[in-house]
Amino acid sequence: RAEADGRVPVIAEVKPTSPTAEGTRADDPVELAEAMVEGGAAAISVLTEPTHFGGSPEALTRIRAAVNVPVLRKDFVLDEDGMDVVEADLLLLIVRFIDDLEGLVAAARERGFQPLVEVHDRAELETALEAGAEIIGVNNRDLAKLEVDLETFESVAPHVPDDVTLIDESGVSSPADVRRMREAGADALLVGSAIMDHGAGDSDVTENTRRLTRAESAETTASTDSRTETDQT
């Protein structure tokens, strides 16, 4: 639906804080999610991990009841018990932390989740594909060093089959980054910190979302304006 409206499909993330954030946002999570949807977010990601990200299952439940877009639960889910904590539309499964990925993918679907399987390199991509993943996210952040490199997505994306939905995760901070990842093959982008803007506690989440969802249409408009000016000179 987002692409039909000319918007880039952005999964905007409600993330009160993180190990790499410059601060914490104490805004009501429902208000944040609603602001993101107003800015054009195609879906909402909600951190439910409390210790490092300040999230909670309760926040996800409240957000899911309030917005009319799909909601992704983002947490370190390692087994079926971890799945049963709270309902969501999509569920993050991180390849490097899971022993029986195929089993968890199947278990997630049985519960009504769409599993989003996260990978960081080509070897993990193969594991995800063998497990039957249909939605794959490539995380540009090295979870060991917490460093971000957008070339991670660019190196993995060419090896993802066309029938798999491919999501770029982490490191996108500008409309230019959005265009770069879309050109590399991203069907959608999951963005947290650039929208939450933890360093500026009163940053406009709606506008932060909008500038990313409109990244491609803004470029087209700018290009058209530039050609018009050239034609008139």
**Confidence tier at 17 by pLDDT (50, 70, 90):** low
Mean pLDDT, the chain, as a whole number?
A: 90
Minimum mean pLDDT range among 5-9, 142-146, 158-162: 142-146
Mean pLDDT of 141-150: 88
User: Which pTM was predicted?
Assistant: 0.89
pLDDT beyond 90 at 146: no
Mean pLDDT of 1-13: 86
Mean pLDDT of 196-204: 66
**Confidence tier at 4 by pLDDT (50, 70, 90):** low
What is the rounded distance in angstroms from the CA atom of residue 3 to the CA atom of residue 10?
10
Block residue for tokens 């909601």: 71
Mean pLDDT of 88-115: 98
Cβ neighbours around 220 below 10 Å, total: 12
* Angstrom distances, CA of residue 203 to CA of 31, 52, 121: 13, 22, 33
What is the rounded distance in angstroms from the CA atom of residue 27 to the CA atom of residue 14?
10
**Confidence tier at 26 by pLDDT (50, 70, 90):** low
Mean pLDDT of 165-183: 97
DSSP string, 58-85: HHHHHHHHH-SS-EEEES---SHHHHTT
Helix (H) or strand (E) holding 138: strand 135-139
**Confidence tier at 5 by pLDDT (50, 70, 90):** confident
What is the rounded distance in angstroms from the CA atom of residue 211 to the CA atom of residue 189?
13
Share of the chain above pLDDT 90, in %: 75
What is the rounded distance in angstroms from the CA atom of residue 222 to the CA atom of residue 17?
34
pLDDT beyond 50 at 109: yes
| pLDDT for residue 222 | 47
Name the CATH superfamily, with its identifier, for domain 3-232: Aldolase class I (3.20.20.70)
| pLDDT tens readout for residues 117-131 | 999 999 999 999 999
**Confidence tier at 227 by pLDDT (50, 70, 90):** very low
**Confidence tier at 65 by pLDDT (50, 70, 90):** very high
| pLDDT for residue 18 | 63
Closest CA to 1 of 213, 192, 221, 196: 213
The residue extents of the domains of the chain are 3-232
| pLDDT for residue 54 | 85
What is the rounded distance in angstroms from the CA atom of residue 137 to the CA atom of residue 120?
8
